[in-house]
A and B are shown apart, each in its own frame.
Chain A
Amino acid sequence: MMVTVKLFGLLRLDSGVKQLELEAATVRELYPKLLEALHNAQPNSSLTLKDLKACAVAVNECPAKPGARLQDGDIVYLIPPIAGG
């Protein structure tokens, strides 16, 4: 399934990537592909799979778990842990 992945927080500021298109059937399947894409964008990035898995995930703005199945055209939001206001 071709989905749009939108990045937020320091994940976005560090990688310089706001969003990208990737193919994956589940959120879990998305992680390694996203990591590879982000490393291609920032070869010196120290980002790991664990960092991505620590992010809150939403699919079409509804909170989702790693096993959530994706549909063509879905928008996946990845937001790193954050607090304070």
Chain B
Amino acid sequence: MTNYAGYMGRVLEIDLSLRREREYPWTDRDRELYIGGKAMASKIMYDNFTGREDPFGPENIIVIATGPVTGTFAPSSNRFDISTLSPLTGITTSSNCGGDFGFYLKKAGIDALVIRGQSSKPVWVEIDNGQVFYHEAATLWGLKTGDTQAGLKKELTDLHGPKGRYGMVTIGPAGENRVLYAAVTSGERAAGRGGTGAVFGSKNLKAIVASGSHEIRLYDREKAMEHHKQWTAALKAHPLTGSQLPRLGTAGLVSTMQLRGQLATRNFSAGRFDGFEKVSGEALAEEENITNSGCLSCPIRCSRTVEVEGQKVKGPELETLGLFGPNLLNDNLKLVCRWNRELDELGMDSISCAGTIAWAMEASEKGLWNNGLEFGQVEGISQLLDDIAHRRGVGDELAQGSKRLSEKYGGKDFAIQSKGMELSAYEPRRAVGQGLGYAVANRGGCHLNGGYLVVLEGLGLSIDQQTPKAKADFCMLMQDLMESISACGHCLFTSYAVFPRFLISKPNSPVTRFVNFIIPHIGWVIRLLNKCPGIAHLNLPLIPYTYELRYAVGLSMNIGKFLKIGERSYNVERAVNARFGVSAEKDKLPRRLTNVLQDPNDPSSRVPLEQMKRIYYKARGWGENGLPDAKKLRKLGIE
């Protein structure tokens, strides 16, 4: 139970071994400290993991958590998080998804699921108005994600008639076969990173379906609805969330990244690709894009709809375009659209999959592993994806990710991963703050969990891409902010509208130039804000999340408290990972990015990681070992 609105007041623990459920203890005090989503999941993992768990063992847990605004119809609020112990990295992973499962889970009367144990045979779990039913999944096992969802709809129609409305999470063959970067799919959206799908597979869990008729209550309906209206209008009026993302999607970044030298090319050996125009967002819009679409209650609608083999399907995001395009020396857009579809159907993370293939191509070129793969050689990739998902031949090896393969065959210097997770499409030698983020990110080489500093380093603002100054401080700030936004259930893309419009649309104005100049000099302000959150005891119209929590949920909130929630979340996640061996030594990048210059004539074109890491740990209040101590955890209310 809860006294707060927005929440359903129930966290349900499901033991698949025993096919039994119980209430997981989660109090209003926990809600105040962690809000929900990823932050909540991290705390649950902190309370459950000792550091000895096996990702594929019954002792591993999967936490599927919504935020209090999920389903309230606040703009871009329909997110949910899947967290677990990652088989790819051996530490925790969290994957945020825009599918409609979160909404229906709340309609079922539940805020979050904690799933443990291991079913003895394939199962799908139905949660209807808070009641749990276990169904045999023998007929669904082996099916791709689209067919699985169609099969589930048929079974549900047979069980309950045709009128039901459901949210689903499912896995495809990759999850069943424990591909280490298998994804979980909800509709056409994926919780992609870290191998959540493989953990589902190890538990013989094919799918979860949620439905119900519970009301998602708002604390002050009138004020909340008015706030939603104003916020939606602001998102629509902003050049990024109102124009660029709806019309070009994330793919629109390809051209700017090319210009900035940030477009990962040929397994991150370069930052520019001669054929970039053919795989750009513009080409996607002009040649392939039928329309744009979006998640439930999202006015941004950044998703592309393209046609693949006569079917209208979700188009590729920037990461898939970049990593299956320039990073493999491929300029065939139609093929990327097709592979994107196949990856979704097989249930695999496109980032880790492409990163592993790029590594294998280079390993083959260097004579380390004779696997038949070659940069620019795109015939056979479709078959290769199928082989990875079904763990056949070379595909069986590629299913392990680039870190394990480089340990086996050599070539660690160009295995573009951090903590075992492959990096996304931003080449960090031309965005050194992003490089720091990749290295220190709790879940491994992730652009978002790393703070997404590239948005300040050329994609949005234009601060000096090469200077390490203040990057550590802003990395911390952005990580904390994104943690808090995610914990609420909001999409991170709403945060782009936090930048005043003129900073984006007038990059050459004196004010914008001053902002770009001054940011590298104000790291101390961020540290001060972090140490004394009381000075941010205010709310700003540009940061709508605090108002949302007040009006929709009834939580007393201000910017200082909001950032502190993010900091708490980041620290608790770090503390769990410390039990699995994470420390400063693991916060690293492949040698190619730290020791090899992208431009041999520019000595600054590498990531000065060690220099930034020291400042980052200091700003976080961590020791030189890169970890929070007991005092820090107590100060944040974690212990």
A binding-site residues for B, Cβ under 8 Å? 6, 8-10, 12-13, 18, 50, 53-54, 56, 58, 61, 63, 77, 79-85
Contact = CB atoms under 8 A, between A and B. Distances in A.
Interface stretch (B57-65, B122-130, B503-511, B544-552): B503-511
| Chain A to chain B: the 8 pairs with minimum beta-carbon distance, closest first | A83-B460, A8-B255, A85-B250, A85-B318, A83-B459, A58-B259, A81-B504, A85-B253
A10 B493 CA distance: 19
Nearest to A62: B259
**Could you tell me the dominant secondary structure of chain B's interface residues?**
helix
B267 interface: no
Contact of B506 (A18, A54, A63, A82): A54
Nearest to A83: B460
A58 B257 CA distance: 12
26 contacts: A8-B256, A9-B252, A9-B256, A9-B281, A9-B282, A10-B244, A12-B282, A50-B506, A54-B508, A56-B507, A61-B258, A61-B272, A77-B259, A79-B256, A79-B259, A80-B244, A81-B460, A81-B507, A82-B244, A82-B252, A82-B255, A83-B253, A83-B460, A84-B253, A84-B493, A85-B452
Given A83-B455, A84-B252, 19 more contacts: A8-B255, A8-B256, A10-B244, A10-B248, A13-B247, A61-B259, A79-B259, A81-B507, A82-B240, A82-B252, A82-B256, A83-B240, A83-B499, A84-B240, A84-B241, A84-B493, A85-B250, A85-B447, A85-B455
A8 B280 contact: yes
Contacts of A83: 240, 244, 253, 455, 459-460, 496, 499, 504
Interface in B224-262: 239-241, 243-245, 247-248, 250, 252-253, 255-256, 258-260
A79 B244 CA distance: 12
Contacts, number: 92
B573 interface: no
A84 B491 CA distance: 12
A79 B258 CA distance: 10
A56 B285 CA distance: 20
A81 B245 CA distance: 12
A45 B499 CA distance: 27
Interface of B: 239-241, 243-245, 247-248, 250, 252-253, 255-256, 258-260, 272, 277, 280-282, 285-286, 302, 317-319, 425-426, 447, 452, 454-455, 459-460, 493, 496, 499, 504-508
Given A8-B282, A9-B282, A84 B256 contact: no
Contact of A13 (B248, B505, B508): B248
Nearest to B462: A56
B244 A84 contact: yes
A13 B285 contact: yes
B123 to A, nearest CB: 37
